[in-house]
A and B are shown apart, each in its own frame.
Chain A
Amino acid sequence: MRKLLTTIMMFIFAFVMIYPFLWMISTSFKQPFEVFEYPFQWISDQPTIKYHENVWTGPASFVNYYLNSLKISIISTIGAVFFAAVAAYGFSRIEFKGRDTMFVVYLVAMMIPNQIIFVPKFIMFNAIGIYNTHMALILPGLFTVLGVFMLRQFFIAVPKDISESAMLDGAGHFGIFLRMMLPMAKPSLATFAIIDFSWHWNDFENALIFLLDKELYTVSLGLQNFVLENTVDYNGMMAAATAGMIPMIIVFLIGQKFIVEGLASSAVKG
Chain B
Amino acid sequence: MKLNWMRKQQLTGYLFIAPNMVGVSLFIIIPALFSFFLAFTNWEFPLLKADFVGLSNFKRLIQDEVFYTSLKNTLIFLGSVPVSVGLGFLTALILNKSVYFKNALRTMFFLPYITTGVAIAFVWMLIFQPENGPINSILRSLGIDHPPGWLSSTSSAIFVFDIIWVWFLLGYNVIIYLAALQEVSSELLEASRIDGARKLHTIRFVIWPLVSPTTLFLLMTGFIVSIKQMGIFQAITDGGPGNSTTVLSLFIYKTAFRYYDMGYASAISVFLLLIIIAITAIQWIAQKKWVHYS
Contact = CB atoms under 8 A, between A and B. Distances in A.
Interface in A124-153: 124, 139-140, 142-146, 148-150, 153
B249 A115 contact: yes
Contact of B23 (A10, A143, A157, A187): A143
Interface in B213-231: 213-214, 217, 220-221, 224-225, 227-228, 230-231
A97 B9 CA distance: 9
Contacts of B106: 256
A114 B227 CA distance: 11
Interface in A167-188: 172-174, 177, 187-188
Contacts of A249: 107, 114
Contact of B114 (A148, A223, A245): A245
B28 A115 contact: no
B1 to A, nearest CB: 15
B62 interface: no
Nearest to A242: B116
Interface residues on A, range: 35 or more
Contacts of B94: 6, 10
A177 B29 CA distance: 27
Contacts of A94: 9, 12-13, 16
Interface stretch (B51-59, B151-159, B165-173, B236-244): B165-173
B122 interface: yes
B175 A83 contact: no
B98 A143 contact: no
B10 A96 contact: yes
Interface string A192-204: 0011001001101
Report the interface size class on chain B. Answer: 35 or more
Nearest to B117: A202
A143 B117 contact: no
B118 interface: yes
Interface stretch (B76-84, B139-147, B189-197, B266-274): B266-274
Given A10-B94, A84-B20, A153-B217, A40 B126 contact: yes
Contact of A108 (B126, B256, B277): B277
A259 interface: yes
Interface stretch (A51-59, A62-70, A99-107, A210-218): A99-107
Contacts of A252: 107, 110, 114
B252 A86 contact: no
B258 to A, nearest CB: 11
A187 B182 contact: yes
Contact of A7 (B99, B109, B183, B225): B99
B13 to A, nearest CB: 3
Interface in A13-42: 13-21, 23-24, 27, 38-40
A17 B109 contact: yes
B188 interface: no
Nearest to B124: A20
A20 B16 contact: no
Nearest to B123: A20
B207 interface: no
Task: Give chain B's interface secondary structure class.
Answer: helix
A124 B31 contact: yes
Nearest to B269: A116
A246 B126 CA distance: 25
B123 to A, nearest CB: 4
Contacts of B16: 86-87, 89-90, 94, 173, 177
A21 B179 contact: no
Contacts of A263: 179, 182
A166 to B, nearest CB: 14
Contacts of B224: 110-111
A95 interface: yes
Contacts of B205: none
B112 to A, nearest CB: 6
A14 B15 CA distance: 45
A20 B109 CA distance: 12
Given A20-B122, A156-B293, A249-B114, A149 B221 contact: yes
B63 interface: no
Contacts of B126: 40
Contact of B35 (A116, A194, A198, A256): A116
Given A40-B126, A108-B273, A115-B249, 16 more contacts: A11-B108, A14-B105, A27-B119, A38-B132, A86-B20, A94-B9, A112-B29, A115-B230, A116-B35, A117-B32, A143-B24, A187-B179, A194-B175, A223-B118, A238-B116, A249-B107
Give the top 9 A-B pairs by smallest Cβ distance, nearest first. A143-B23, A90-B16, A96-B13, A120-B31, A87-B20, A14-B108, A90-B17, A140-B27, A241-B116
7 contacts: A40-B126, A87-B17, A113-B273, A115-B256, A157-B183, A157-B293, A187-B179
